[in-house]
A and B are shown apart, each in its own frame.
Chain A
Amino acid sequence: MSTFKHTKLNNQLDIIAEVMPTARTAAIGFMVKTGSRDEEPQVSGVSHFLEHMMFKGTERRSAADINREFDSLGARNNAFTSNEVTCYWAQVLPEYLPAALDILADMMRPALREDDFNMEKNVILEEISLYLDKPGHVLYERIMEDHFGAHPMAQSILGSKESITALSQQQMRNYFDRHYGPGNMVLAAAGQINFDELVQLTDQACGRWPSVAVERRYPPLTHSARRHHIRDEKLKRHYICMLCRGPSAQDMERFSAAVLADVIGDHDGSRFFWSLIESGLAEEADFSTFPHDGLGSFYAYASCDPAKADLVEETMIRELGRVRIEGVAEDEIARSKTKISTSTVMSGELPLGRMRNLCSQWIYNREFRTLEQDLAELEKVNLPSIGDLLTKYPFEPLTITTLGPGDR
């Protein structure tokens, strides 16, 4: 049986862990509550670029040292940046956990050397080019701008070639100093963990980091229905994205939203599956819920033959309208609950899956939820709760952004 542990260092760094006695590995990660939504426009892309720079060395270690040491532990390790968080993680065999923590904690105080900064800029520009060749990603960035407008959630994670080229090392240093305070992050661990040892080592490594007051802005979102087509004659397929309001990461209705999204747009057996995939209209179609910090979205996506663009878009809108007006059926809810609970249990069997879940719960809600609590909350979802959700979030106004070779 898993147990939950929590402690807070004097400098406000939270340490949380789920000890899984039967696990054969351990996963740890620092999650920082900062991402592209926390950037000033002139440093667009700095959160993600900084994530790369954190691997580039510290006072004690060069970039090569960090990489070589992780490899010597047989670690599976990486990092990611989203609109709202930046996470650095490693999974290792339990005997290497102290050594992995030592590297990760050291990385969290980076040297940010000028030479490394200039070299890594090339890699970031390459990553931007890579994503420019992915229509799904190009469209995603555009609909985030279209939907969120002046709200900081609109800001690109990668930044642009221009913003990255113009970014200075000093601007990155300032961003780091303002956002990487111990009170703005959490260290989470899951798997085969000795919690007391973890706390002791973390205190030694991180206990002297200075506290920093960090405030995230929560401006209201104002948006109206909008449709926008981007033409790219080189493309062979037509891509459709839709965004509308949904529950936030703090809102308990997120459980109903997860079920509703599965009913509408899971890749098997959903409304979109029957009307778009099974009918052969579109090769991809999905509908999901994105709970953000303080606000949320529902997101729809499809790709299809450009000749069927209008039909596919109309079908998506019609399906959303049907759900809004008629609701969904009891057996649809039951199936989706079973699907979601199965995937919750399966990802909960893996330390890496649990660690990520712990991090997010803590960053967004300052709480620990067991797998069993999540499953119980999911079980409560029913026709009335879905009805309430649809009243509050009726899929409108809808932002529609499309990308394809045609005129519209």
Chain B
Amino acid sequence: MTQTAPLMRVDRFDNGLTLVMEQMPDVQSASMVLAIMGGASQDPEHGVGSGNVLSDWILRGAGERDSRALTSALDSLGVQRSCGVDTVFLRFSAGMLAKNLPAVLPLVADIFQNAQLPEAGFSACRDLALGQIAAIDDEPSQKLNILLRQQHLPPPLGRPTLGVKEHVAVLTAADLRLDYRRRFTPDGAILSIAGRIEFDRMHDLVNRCFGSWTGARALPAAPGQAPGGSRHVHQETNQVQIGLAFESTPEREPESILAMLAVNVLSGGMGSRLFSEIREKQGLCYAVHAGYQSLRTLGMIFGYAGTVPDRAQRTLDSFVQELKKLRAGITADELERARIGMKSRVVMNGESTGARAAALLHDMYHLGRPRSLDELRHRIESPTLTDVNDYLAAHPVERMTLVTIGPGELTPPV
């Protein structure tokens, strides 16, 4: 099978908006993500959760359309969408038939530039956010994830993206209207589009929709000190939730591929170390995994296991043992399996417009340029076993952050 190189283009607009596009001629659909640098780390210090409330409120009417008219317009175009915040971005993601994109972009432009932010919708949005925050206690695995980020990452990067109850409860409509004007700027914003599109037509359309958008973003505050260490939260759950985190190489550094390959050996497919040692051989738990994540200047590896109280200490000890064993290196077979697994994922994701739009945004944020499927494949193929093992020897797992939730406390690893 011959594969033509994917066609990509990056256009930078004077107002700071970057448009990144990929043509996928074999599909009928198109997906887009518009992301502004307005994630939870940009929330006011005493208004953590503002971005999350805003990500809902902006959909309650924009431009000439009230809430019902806007929703109806998006639905009539068959737009599958979501809007929310992570640490860095506030993003609107949408998938649709490609022929509808020209009608959808003006609606998105209205949402980001001319949201109505109606008084009537404000308290409902705030109540919804408070409901989401309260529901975290009923979902221990979600709660663990939030607590672990808070413990491991320096503030404001570790903030809970849903917000802090006490802050959200006292937010006012006036606060958030000011926040909207401050936060929703094209400065640093990225619009990624993948699917059946034509570059020039798309460029003109984006220029018409977003060319007159103005505003400069506030510079992010310097990160503080991460709490780190270990923390136990008592809760009468059926399973003990175990979360681990430690530092790794940020994605923008070339060496990060070595960390990613190693994490795949640890927790890629079902033959990977954590799954086979802890679940298959010892039967200690159902869910056990680790993953690599990165912010621009901060790489990290997160680990998770859930198990009944009787087996929790053994699970934690085995988990930590597997992490420490990485220092001794991986085998050639393990590296090959990790490589082929990662390469396959690249091709599989390459079939989906939604996955490609998200990947383009990811690349622009971390590297300032999009990577083709060929480049991604090459990056995975290049490192030798020695490269990976030298890296692992030089970066032993140290200073682990541990968070547990459950009926009893565990002994942290030394």
Contact = CB atoms under 8 A, between A and B. Distances in A.
B280 to A, nearest CB: 6
Interface of A: 22-25, 55, 63-64, 66-77, 91-94, 119-127, 129-130, 132-135, 192, 234-237, 268-269, 273-274, 277-280, 282-283, 303-305, 331, 334-336, 338-339, 341-343, 345-346, 349-351
Given A24-B347, A67-B276, A236-B135, A126 B307 contact: yes
Nearest to A403: B138
A123 B283 contact: yes
B77 A338 contact: yes
Nearest to B27: A349
Given A268-B75, A278-B67, A338-B76, A67 B275 contact: yes
B216 interface: no
Contact of A70 (B237, B271, B284): B271
B269 A75 contact: yes
B200 to A, nearest CB: 24
Given A73-B344, A129-B239, 9 more contacts: A24-B350, A119-B283, A192-B1, A278-B67, A279-B124, A280-B124, A338-B78, A342-B80, A346-B353
Contacts of B137: 236
A339 B80 contact: yes
A61 to B, nearest CB: 12
Interface of B: 1, 3, 26-29, 60, 67-68, 71-72, 74-81, 95-97, 121, 123-128, 131-132, 134-135, 137-141, 236-239, 268-272, 275-276, 279-281, 283-287, 306-308, 311, 336-337, 340-345, 347-348, 350-354
A339 B81 CA distance: 11
A304 B96 CA distance: 31
A92 B76 contact: no
A75 B344 contact: yes
Given A236-B138, A342-B96, A68 B337 contact: yes
Contacts of A71: 268-272, 337, 340-341
7 contacts: A55-B270, A73-B344, A74-B345, A76-B348, A134-B139, A331-B72, A349-B353
B76 A132 contact: no
A368 B230 CA distance: 55
A92 B271 CA distance: 16
Contacts of B237: 133
A305 to B, nearest CB: 6
A346 B353 CA distance: 9
A122 B286 CA distance: 8
A126 B285 contact: yes
Contacts of B81: 268
Given A279-B124, A349-B28, A72 B275 contact: no
A64 B128 contact: no
Contacts of B342: 74
Given A126-B307, A127-B286, A349-B28, A237 B131 contact: yes
Contacts of B280: 63-64, 67, 119
A379 to B, nearest CB: 13
Contacts of B72: 269, 331, 335
A265 to B, nearest CB: 14
A269 B268 contact: no
B134 A305 contact: yes
Given A24-B350, A237-B134, A123 B286 contact: yes
Given A126-B285, A130-B286, A130-B287, A72 B337 contact: yes
Contacts of B351: 23-25, 349-351
Contacts of B268: 71
Contacts of A129: 238-239, 308
Nearest to A339: B78
B135 A345 contact: no
User: Which of B1, B27, B80, B348 is packed against the most chain A CB atoms within 10 Å?
Assistant: B348
Contacts of A341: 78
B78 A135 contact: no
A125 B232 CA distance: 24
Contacts of A94: 1
A273 B67 CA distance: 12
A345 B285 CA distance: 38
A77 B29 CA distance: 26
B287 to A, nearest CB: 7
Contacts of B285: 123, 126
B80 A269 contact: no
B341 A346 contact: no
A268 B71 contact: yes
Contacts of A351: 351
Contacts of A119: 280-281, 283
Contacts of B3: 24
Contacts of A135: 138
A68 B307 CA distance: 25
Contact of A237 (B79, B135, B306): B135
Contact of B75 (A55, A192, A338): A338
A68 B271 contact: yes
Contacts of A126: 239, 284-286, 306-308, 311
A130 B286 CA distance: 8
Task: Give 9 nearest A-B pairs by CB, closest first.
Answer: A280-B124, A74-B344, A342-B78, A283-B131, A122-B283, A67-B271, A74-B340, A71-B269, A280-B127
